Amino acid sequence: MRVSGEPSFRESVDLMFNRAARLLDLSPGLEQKIRVCNSTYTVRFGVRLRGKIETFTGYRSVHSEHMEPVKGGIRYALSVSQDEVEALAALMTYKCALVETPFGGSKGGLCIDPRQWDEHELEQITRRFAYELIKRDLIHPAQNVPAPDMGTGEREMAWIADQYARMNTTDINAKACVTGKPPHAGGIQGRVEATGRGVQYAMREFFRHMDDMARAGLTGGLEGKRVIVQGLGNVGYHAAKFLSEEDGCKIIAVIERDGAIVNEAGLPIEELRQWMNANGGAVAGFPRGTHVADGASLLEAACDILIPAAMEGVINLSNAERIRAPLIVEAANGPVTFGADEILRRKGCVIIPDMYANAGGVTVSYFEWVKNLSHIRFGRMQRRAEEARSRLLVEELERLSADKGLGWTLAEDFKERFLTGSDELALVRSGLDDTMRTAYQAMREVWHSRQDVEDLRVAAYIVAIDRVAKTYRSKGL
Ligand code: GLU
């Protein structure tokens, strides 16, 4: 979506970068080096489908190779363009730096409506696209590691991994060429929900800081907060589900392709998603809410928290003035344009920026990549040892209590939790939680300590650019 008079997505990202770069002491040369996209490869390939040759256009853009491999998803959508993948690749550079995943930034895309093709056709198309990228090292465990994005998921990643393995039969690290694979094909527990889980952890961290909440005019915790979510895809669905089921948020509206579904008492997210699955992705007709045909109008409804989790540019010059949410959490990449960002800042709206809010995906991708390179599941060596030590302590406490006639009894549910060693999923969650907390604290430190830093987005860019600059400097650039 592009409103006339607004910069393109890539220009918007550059303008946001410039706001932060101005506040940093970078040489103009280094600033320019960090801002620009290193390369974008465009490929047009034909696949014989339904009796004729269909030509597809795909991209893989590498924004910064200050660290390798470079990382970022592959998007399947008709809206994919060079401008879009370059903007998204740049965001990946800053995102990875902010959450300290040791990668440069990249992004890929294929102009396709995945719903138009059957599974076996999509497999053919994906394998062919992957082939084109693999032979140029644009998919490679040490150089460029894709992941899912809009329109792709575990299934596509498994095809890509298999395609790479077929073309590199002696590469012992072949599985690390792509992340977001299904667990049975070299993936990791918790990757599918990682971005949504990261949004939840980001919000929990924000709500731990009273002075940050005060800037948005919010008080209390997440419990009872009225939330509007745009997009019930992988990210929006998991974020909405966890926030409502675990943190007591009320999801009062979900905006989807065919309109919005509204329920002031809070929507049952799992049920809504089941409904959508059974109705070709439509929300209309869902019995536990009211359907509003003009879905986008709900972006402007009164609520405590607005979570755009769909496309870029949905909050723009045409609606920013009317947005009423005091807190926006950017679960999507680039949902707020540069111009809208300025308007929202003036209105006092706090924005938890994309490069932080949705970094849970790449964080768990990092864990998956490390798992693939180490060829062992997390927790396999430690889990039972951890349980044995805990058991020793519990047994000793019980022995002491019996010996001294103290009559202590440990609660059964405490014992059960204490005696359970961490499996892979528990470790992934712990690593993700730690990452989200640490990154938030780095951002807020800049936000609060510098008079010239107005908002969290500039703070995030400052942290990220500073880290990228340090890496370049230490390489002698
Ligand atoms: N596509 C996701 C993103 O925008 C994940 C990238 C990754 O895991 O490499 O952050």
The residue-averaged pLDDT of 291-310 equals 98
State the pLDDT at residue 475.
87
Q: Which two tokens stand for residue 269?
A: 């997210």
One domain for residues 249 and 302: yes
Q: Is the pLDDT of residue 187 over 90?
A: yes
Q: Quick one: which atom of ligand 1 is closest to the CA of 91?
A: 4
Indicate the top mutation candidate among 92, 192, 311 to test ligand 1's pocket, ranked by most ligand atoms within 8 A of CB.
Answer: 92
One domain for residues 232 and 141: no
One domain for residues 113 and 253: no
The residue-averaged pLDDT of 194-209 equals 98
Distance from the CA of 365 to the center of ligand 1, in angstroms?
8
Domain that holds residue 340: 217-348
Q: Quick one: which atom of ligand 1 is closest to the CA of 365?
A: 8
Distance from the CA of 302 to the center of ligand 1, in angstroms?
31
Between strands 144-145 and 226-230, the pairing is unpaired
Q: Is residue 437 part of a domain?
A: no
One domain for residues 83 and 140: yes
Distance from the CA of 293 to the center of ligand 1, in angstroms?
31
Q: Quick one: which atom of ligand 1 is closest to the CA of 146?
A: 9
One domain for residues 309 and 268: yes
Structurally, the chain folds into a number of domains equal to 2
The residue-averaged pLDDT of 151-168 equals 98
Residue 182, domain CATH: 3.40.50.10860
46 class by beta-carbon count within 10 Å (0-12 exposed, 13-18 middle, 19+ buried)? exposed
Q: Find residue 104's DSSP bridge partners.
A: 70
Backbone angles phi, psi at 256, to 5 degrees: -135, 180
One domain for residues 183 and 225: no
Domain boundary pick from 147, 172, 190: 190
The Cβ of residue 393 has, within 10 Å, a number of other Cβ atoms equal to: 11
361 pocket-lining for ligand 1 (C-beta < 6 Å): yes
152 pocket-lining for ligand 1 (C-beta < 6 Å): no
The residue-averaged pLDDT of 433-454 equals 97
333 pocket-lining for ligand 1 (C-beta < 6 Å): yes
Q: Is the pLDDT of residue 277 over 70?
A: yes
Claim: this prediction has a pTM higher than 0.85: yes
Q: How far is CA 453 from CA 138, 243, 322, 346, in A?
A: 37, 29, 25, 14
The Cβ of residue 209 has, within 10 Å, a number of other Cβ atoms equal to: 14
Q: Is the pLDDT of residue 1 over 60?
A: no
Q: Is residue 366 part of a domain?
A: no
Distance from the CA of 447 to the center of ligand 1, in angstroms?
25
Between strands 290-292 and 259-262, the pairing is antiparallel
State the pLDDT at residue 200.
98
365 pocket-lining for ligand 1 (C-beta < 6 Å): yes
Ligand 1, atom 8, lies closest to the CA of: 362
Q: How far is CA 384 from CA 118, 279, 377, in A?
A: 45, 45, 14
One domain for residues 244 and 129: no
Between strands 74-77 and 70-71, the pairing is unpaired
Between strands 104-111 and 52-64, the pairing is antiparallel
Domain boundary pick from 319, 348, 377: 348
Catalytic residue among 95, 107, 175, 181: 107
One domain for residues 231 and 331: yes
Q: Is residue 93 part of a domain?
A: yes
The residue-averaged pLDDT of 168-187 equals 98
Ligand 1, atom 7, lies closest to the CA of: 362
Q: Is residue 44 part of a domain?
A: yes
- Sign of the four-CA dihedral 436, 102, 72, 185: negative
Distance from the CA of 86 to the center of ligand 1, in angstroms?
14
Please report where in the chains the tokens 């879009």 appear, as a residue.
84
Q: Which candidate, 338, 238, 231, places its Cα nearest to that of 14?
A: 338
Q: How far is CA 276 from CA 244, 258, 314, in A?
A: 18, 11, 22
Distance from the CA of 103 to the center of ligand 1, in angstroms?
11
Q: Is residue 18 part of a domain?
A: no
Q: Is residue 85 part of a domain?
A: yes
Q: Is residue 262 part of a domain?
A: yes
Q: Is the pLDDT of residue 4 over 90?
A: no
State the pLDDT at residue 201.
98
179 pocket-lining for ligand 1 (C-beta < 6 Å): yes
User: SS3 for 41?
Assistant: strand
126 pocket-lining for ligand 1 (C-beta < 6 Å): no
User: SS3 for 47?
Assistant: strand
Catalytic (active site) residue 107:
yes
Q: Is the pLDDT of residue 103 over 60?
A: yes
372 pocket-lining for ligand 1 (C-beta < 6 Å): no
One domain for residues 157 and 270: no
One domain for residues 51 and 183: yes
In whole angstroms, what is the distance from residue 16 CA to residue 22 CA? Answer: 10
In whole angstroms, what is the distance from residue 299 CA to residue 1 CA? Answer: 15
Q: Is residue 452 part of a domain?
A: no
Q: How far is CA 402 from CA 204, 389, 399, 409, 413, in A?
A: 42, 20, 5, 10, 20
Residue 223, domain CATH: 3.40.50.720
Q: Quick one: which atom of ligand 1 is closest to the CA of 359?
A: 10
Domain boundary pick from 323, 348, 373: 348
One domain for residues 322 and 222: yes
